Structure 1
Amino acid sequence: METAACKMTLQEKLNILADAAKYDVACTSSGSSRRGKKGYLGNAVSSGICHSFSSDGRCISLLKILFTNECIFDCKYCLNRSSNDQPRATFTPEEVCTLVTEFYRRNYIEGLFLSSGIMKSPTYTMEQMYQAVYLLRTKYKFNGYIHVKAIPGAPEELIARMGYLADRMSVNIELPTTEGLSKLAPHKKPENLVKPLRQIQDGITSHRLAIGKDPQMERSNSSKYLPHTIFRENPYRRLPSGSDPVSVHLPASARCQAHFVPAGQSTQMIIGATGENDLQLLSTTQKLYQMYDLKRVFFSAYVPLNEDALLPAIGTAPPLLREHRLYQADWLLRYYGFHAEELLSPERPNFNILLDPKCDWALRHLEYFPVEINRASYADLLRVPGIGTKSAGRIVKSRRGGLLDFQHLKKIGVVLKRAKYFITCNGKMMHRIPIKEDFITRQLIRTDSKKNWEIEHPQTYRQLSLFDDFHFQSEITMEDSHKSILGQL
């Protein structure tokens, strides 16, 4: 197999390893800001360098590849598991550098997302990935955004050194419960998955303390007005120690000049491969934010790829709408002051998939509504469906100059097709609406039916190729593709 892989062209490797990376969604690129420097290639933008998206909403402006799809493990849900008979390929560190720099110069990409299967051992794999990123930063002077997966089981020193080169690092916990992990990936131990998460968190905390910043990752400015967020009510946060467990592995000059994982860390959970309910998923998400101060938790709707009695049958539709609802609920945890245990309960452990999670919560707590727009606090306004962080702030600011009515709210940006069931202006509702759960539920489901159908029926699951051009009339030849990679076009 290795001999065949060595004979592959760079084009053939790219076709295999770019396609193999499409099931990893934890590749957001916001949170890191770095200006261009003389003699260096590229920069990183804090507002997010991802400018184009595939049809299912995933970012495609990063070069998203696996270093290898070889793997010594046999996770039941993974396409690249060792027991699957499929083409295997492995990049060299220099090949990764060639792809990144040449694609960047042609404005195909703006950064790199690098993950990998496990070849030979976690240590060997992490060494190869580190070598690629080190060459990019030093030899090729690449100053753009880089997101790298940390390999559980790799030495702490390698993860530490990678943290000073990458903008973001992530460790996929894959499944939200130990039971699910033991069924589908029995060789993976929860303690080994969370160990690098803790190490990266400690490194970020220590570095932020060293440069005089709050050790906790920055959040949305709107969150500072909320009295009870999951980040402030954190029973798990460890007090920072006096030592820096990460930077001890680096020379003093490198520690002073570099930033450790400035865009924070993230993780990913697979949705639908096992039988966890939404409450379990959201509770795990909340604990991950509290315990490891993650920037993002990503959800990936499981696409059945392998035949196994413990997995959904091949051909089963991915739970895309459920994935969408979990992302909306995640937003409520991070920016709206909600907690997992109030959004869901053991009696109702799953969201109504046809409703926005905030609407679902509001309908189960109609005793809090309607809310009077001209008197409600900022925190109470955030709990109204159809009112976001920006519109809530505008309401608080605008009503200082006088009483607001529904026309004002529409101009402010309130989504009245949802909010009208839950608010009053000057003591009056927008229409004569009965405050009854069944009635409002039917109205909201009808309002969102078209959007829900579009989420469940995307045009394609195919990850876009770097050579896609849907407006180009002539056929793109293999020679053109090959020249593009090697910089001959």
Structure 2
Amino acid sequence: MFVYNLFMINICSNDDIFKKLEILSDAAKYDVACTSSGVDRKGKGGMLGNSVASGICHTFSGDGRCISLLKILMTNHCIFDCKYCINRKNNDIHRACFTPREICELTVEFYKRNYIEGLFLSSGIINSPNFTMERICETLILLRSEYMFNGYVHVKAIPGASDELLLQAGSLADRMSVNIEFPSESSLKKYAPNKSFNLISDPMKKIKDSIEMNRLSTGKSIKLPRSNINKYLPGSIFNDVAQIEGDNILKSSLITKQADIRPFVPSGQSTQMIIGTGDDSDYTILMTAQNLYKSFDLKRVFYSAYIPINEDSSLPNPDTPVPLLREHRLYQADWLIRFYGFNAQELLSKDNPDFNTYMDPKCNWAVKHLEFFPVEVQTADMASLLRVPGIGPKAARRIVTSRRYSLLDFNSIAKMGVVLKRAQYFLTCNGKMMYKTLLDEKYITNRLIGLNGNENRQYSTEKQLSLFDDFGLK
């Protein structure tokens, strides 16, 4: 097996590094899990780079993805045969792989030229999950200790890799992610026969527990089950010596002073689900996402509209439109769950399992629950205001603060950021609506869909959405 590894690396070593970069950066574009870093770390003397909490992804490409991270695969060789993946082992594509040092050189040289501010590193699985994860760990050790790179690093955890390797990677990376791929076990078995929910959820749980232990060790308040406190301490990042046993390349120990130990995955973990491949409904997807947030304390669940790239009888035809609008609605619903106090069960149900793609999820919920409306601006609490389409958290706070001192009208709340073209159907100011409105689901739905006509036309073409455009989220 080890001879096979050396052979695979050698056949790639003659490729020009820029050809490798072209192949492996293109192969990484189907993973959408790039977003703000969530980490604020200033530069240090003798070290290279920094990380900005407001968002390392300052710039976006035309398809909406971050371009300030060097986003590559270590290799597009893979022993798995996931039907949806361009890098599946049975695909006839040009293969390549980077050495750890090549990745470090590229990262630092790109950083010095101000092309990037960090690294997003994923990989196909070459030979075994442990072998692949060892190469990722070697890259991170070189990058942090020899090249002194202090910028943002996001790495993919390889399902099936050992606990020690996950802990080693997490002690050097800012964010880790394990892609769950599908919201149901049946879809995962159908499209990724080499994977299982247990194979994916186990590393997610280990990362979560290690983040909690790190917070506990630094004196931060956290509710941690007693049974988990000592679970992963032997050989973990909390020892003075971080070492991966059995790795011929990583025999030298990474020794640090206790005061200098990096926080474990300070930007948390994330995951990704593919949209439009299987038969899973929006309700199933949202319920899974909600459970992931609760169970694994995820920072983000990303939704990736499936682009038909492989021919398989179980997959959509190559000429099937990419479900970008559906992807966008799921992002909006995800935002409502995380920041607006909604539950997945409120937005959708088994009887009504999919969103009306012509209307944003908040409006979709409001027209089906007209018994809660209209809401009176002068007396409604924060939770009720946040349920009104067109009112976001900032506008709601401004309303609650301003109404203590004066009576509000529609002009004043519009200046506070309320989007009246949506909110007017669900609000009253001092007992009066902006216009005479029939509180009828069909009537308001038709009016709102008419408002969103330009939006719907915009998404009729194959264009990746920006995660930060509003498009009626408020």
TM-score (norm 1): 0.88
Q: Give the whole-Å Cα distance in 2 for the aligned partners of 1:351 and 1:324.
A: 11
In the alignment, does 2:240 pair up with 1:261? Answer: no
Aligned to 1:201: 208
Q: Give the whole-Å Cα distance in 2 for the aligned partners of 1:314 and 1:351.
A: 24
Q: Give the whole-Å Cα distance in 1 for the aligned partners of 2:60 and 2:366.
A: 32
Aligned to 1:431: 435
CA-CA distance at 1:249 after TM superposition: 2.2
Gap change, CA 1:289 and 1:85, over 3 Å in 2: same
Aligned AA (2:80): F
Aligned to 1:327: 331
Q: Which deviates more, 423-432 or 256-265?
A: 256-265
| SS of residue in 1 equivalent to 2:153 | strand
Aligned to 2:105: 98
CA-CA distance at 1:244 after TM superposition: 5.5
Q: Deviations over 1:343-389 (max 9, x none)?
A: 11111111111111000000100010000011000011000000001
Q: Give the whole-Å Cα distance in 1 for the aligned partners of 2:173 and 2:448.
A: 44
Q: Deviations over 1:101-136 (max 9, x none)?
A: 000000000100000000010001000011111101
Q: Deviations over 1:55-107 (max 9, x none)?
A: 22211110000000000011110000000000000000000001100000000
Equivalent of residue 150 in structure 2, options 139, 143, 155:
143
Q: Deviations over 1:403-434 (max 9, x none)?
A: 11001111000011110010000000001111
Aligned to 1:453: 457
Equivalent runs, 1:142-161 vs 2, <5 Å: 142-161=149-168
Q: Which deviates more, 184-193 or 143-152?
A: 184-193
Gap change, CA 1:206 and 1:420, over 3 Å in 2: same
Identity of aligned residues (%): 56
Equivalent of residue 110 in structure 1, options 91, 112, 117:
117
Q: In the alignment, is the contact (CA less than 8 A) between 1:157 and 1:246 conserved in 2?
A: no
| SS of residue in 2 equivalent to 1:307 | coil
Equivalent runs, 1:357-368 vs 2, <5 Å: 357-368=361-372
CA-CA distance at 1:54 after TM superposition: 1.7
Q: Give the whole-Å Cα distance in 1 for the aligned partners of 2:418 and 2:220.
A: 35
Q: In the alignment, is the contact (CA less than 8 A) between 1:271 and 1:299 conserved in 2?
A: yes
Q: Give the whole-Å Cα distance in 2 for the aligned partners of 1:263 and 1:244.
A: 22
Gap change, CA 1:340 and 1:173, over 3 Å in 2: same
CA-CA distance at 1:460 after TM superposition: 7.3
Equivalent of residue 72 in structure 1, options 72, 79, 92:
79
Q: In the alignment, is the contact (CA less than 8 A) between 1:160 and 1:247 conserved in 2?
A: no
Gap change, CA 1:325 and 1:460, over 3 Å in 2: closer
Gap change, CA 1:351 and 1:67, over 3 Å in 2: same
Aligned AA (1:296): R
Aligned to 1:249: 236
Gap change, CA 1:328 and 1:423, over 3 Å in 2: same
Equivalent runs, 1:8-27 vs 2, <5 Å: 8-27=15-34
CA-CA distance at 1:210 after TM superposition: 1.7
CA-CA distance at 1:458 after TM superposition: 4.3
Aligned AA (1:58): R
5+ residue gaps, structure 1: 217-236, 462-489
Q: Give the whole-Å Cα distance in 1 for the aligned partners of 2:217 and 2:285.
A: 35
Q: Give the whole-Å Cα distance in 2 for the aligned partners of 1:25 and 1:240.
A: 35
Q: Give the whole-Å Cα distance in 2 for the aligned partners of 1:189 and 1:201.
A: 19
| SS of residue in 1 equivalent to 2:447 | helix
Q: Give the whole-Å Cα distance in 1 for the aligned partners of 2:235 and 2:397.
A: 44
Q: Give the whole-Å Cα distance in 2 for the aligned partners of 1:64 and 1:171.
A: 16
Higher relative contact order (Cα pairs below 8 Å, separated by 6+ residues): 1
Number of matched pairs: 441
Aligned to 2:383: 379
CA-CA distance at 1:212 after TM superposition: 2.3
Q: Deviations over 1:259-298 (max 9, x none)?
A: 0000000000000110100000000000000000000000
5+ residue gaps, structure 2: 1-6, 241-255, 466-474
| SS of residue in 1 equivalent to 2:383 | helix
CA-CA distance at 1:211 after TM superposition: 1.6
Q: In the alignment, is the contact (CA less than 8 A) between 1:202 and 1:240 conserved in 2?
A: no
CA-CA distance at 1:446 after TM superposition: 1.2
Aligned AA (2:62): S
In the alignment, does 2:27 pair up with 1:40? Answer: no
Gap change, CA 1:356 and 1:318, over 3 Å in 2: same
| SS of residue in 1 equivalent to 2:115 | coil
CA-CA distance at 1:240 after TM superposition: 6.6
Aligned AA (1:186): P
CA-CA distance at 1:452 after TM superposition: 2.4
Q: Give the whole-Å Cα distance in 1 for the aligned partners of 2:67 and 2:459.
A: 19
Q: Which deviates more, 248-257 or 271-280?
A: 248-257
Equivalent of residue 124 in structure 1, options 128, 131, 134:
131
